Amino acid sequence: MPAVKRKYRLHYLDDPVLREKSVPVDEFGEAEAELVRAMAEIAAAHRGVGLAAPQAGVLQRIILVTPSILPEGAAPVLVNPEVVWRSPETENEEEGCLSLLSVMTPLARPARVVVKYTDPEGREREVEAEGFGARALLHEIDHLDGVLFIDHLSRLKRKFVRDRFRKMYRELGLGTR
């Protein structure tokens, strides 16, 4: 019997879909709800704190961030998110990405951000996040523009992360699937 092909799966570095620009979502319907459920499954399976739709192979401006790192009341699903303010002060903390098998490296990011977004019910909202929450929002929103966290690193650090990722990717046999 042929293997059942899953509709959504995690896409890894070197997959061109991660470098494309995502399009805004006009209406959050059943297809988007199904996508978000799949994204939540992928994030949970890989113990991620967030995921962007392009990582699931879909070029729509939707991100997922685990509620525990956002202020109370923020929606875990952010549609058409947009950074409207970033603090001048930065924080240099470890960061990784599921699409790079969570190879971690320190990266300076704004300590606080304000993000405007629409929730799945179509309400316009805003969230002010700090620390790890701000980092996650910036990281996931970058994905919607085809930007990966390694793009913010020096050439040497980028090479270190890429090489470690490629080695793990081979060892896990992911390239042969």
Q: Which of 30, 72, 140, 171 is catalytic?
A: 140
Identify which range of 22-30, 93-101, 126-134, 150-158 contacts Zn ion by CB under 5 A.
93-101
Rule CB under 5 A: say whether 97 interacts with Zn ion: yes
Return the number of the residue (79 or 97) whose C-beta is nearest Zn ion.
Answer: 97
The Cα–Cα gap between 60 and 26 comes to 10
8 A C-beta contact, residue 120 and residue 77 = yes
Return the number of the residue (26 or 62) whose C-beta is nearest Zn ion.
Answer: 62
Strands (E), 111-160: 112-118, 124-130
C-beta nearest to Zn ion: residue: 97
Residue whose pair of structure tokens reads 């977004």 in the numeric block: 117
Rule CB under 5 A: say whether 10 interacts with Zn ion: no
Residue 9 has, within 13 A of its CA and on its CB side, a CA count of: 9
How many residues in the shown chain lie near Zn ion by CB under 5 A? 1
Whether 94 is a known active-site residue: answer no
Rule CB under 5 A: say whether 56 interacts with Zn ion: no
Residue type, 20: E
Q: Name residue 118's beta-bridge partners.
A: 79, 124
Residues classed as catalytic: 140
Q: Where on the chain is the footprint of Zn ion (CB under 5 A)? A: 97
